Amino acid sequence: MFACYARSYAQRSTSDWLSGFIFKQWKKRFLFLTAEGSLYVCHDASSLPVQTVLLQSGCEAIVEGKEILDLPRLPSGGCRDCCFALILSQNKYLLLMAETPADCSQWLTVLKKVKKVSQ
């Protein structure tokens, strides 16, 4: 297992195709990605996961911020180029925002690569 972690914001939502999010607020979370394709969402770097996403079986698609139709209000300093979403089963989404567009691009590249390899 390797730890590919970053300070990212996460919120799960149920809605129609990435529009009209039911959304309260952004919450800072730490993400850990395994080579086997498990993404762990944790409150902080030392806590147990509050959510696990299996990229191979539990994630239908990975989309960039520019593909999200109705993006919720971003926190101060946030931008669309920092956002991406994991489309999960049962009409659920994990909306994420990296700290910079470069971090977001790295996350997208790694997540897509791991999802592809683990299929």
Instruction: Kindly report whether the global pTM for this prediction surpasses the value 0.85.
Output: no
Which residue segment(s) compose the domain that 21 sits in? 7-117
Number of domains in the chain: 1
Is 40 inside any structural domain?
A: yes
pLDDT tens, the chain, 119 aa long: 333 333 444 454 444 444 444 556 778 888 888 888 999 988 888 889 988 999 999 999 999 988 888 777 787 888 889 889 998 887 788 888 888 899 899 999 999 999 887 66
Q: Is 96 among the domain residues?
A: yes
Domain containing residue 64: CATH number = 2.30.29.30
Q: CA dist 97 to 1, 65, 118, 119, Å?
A: 23, 9, 24, 25
In a domain, 110, yes or no: yes
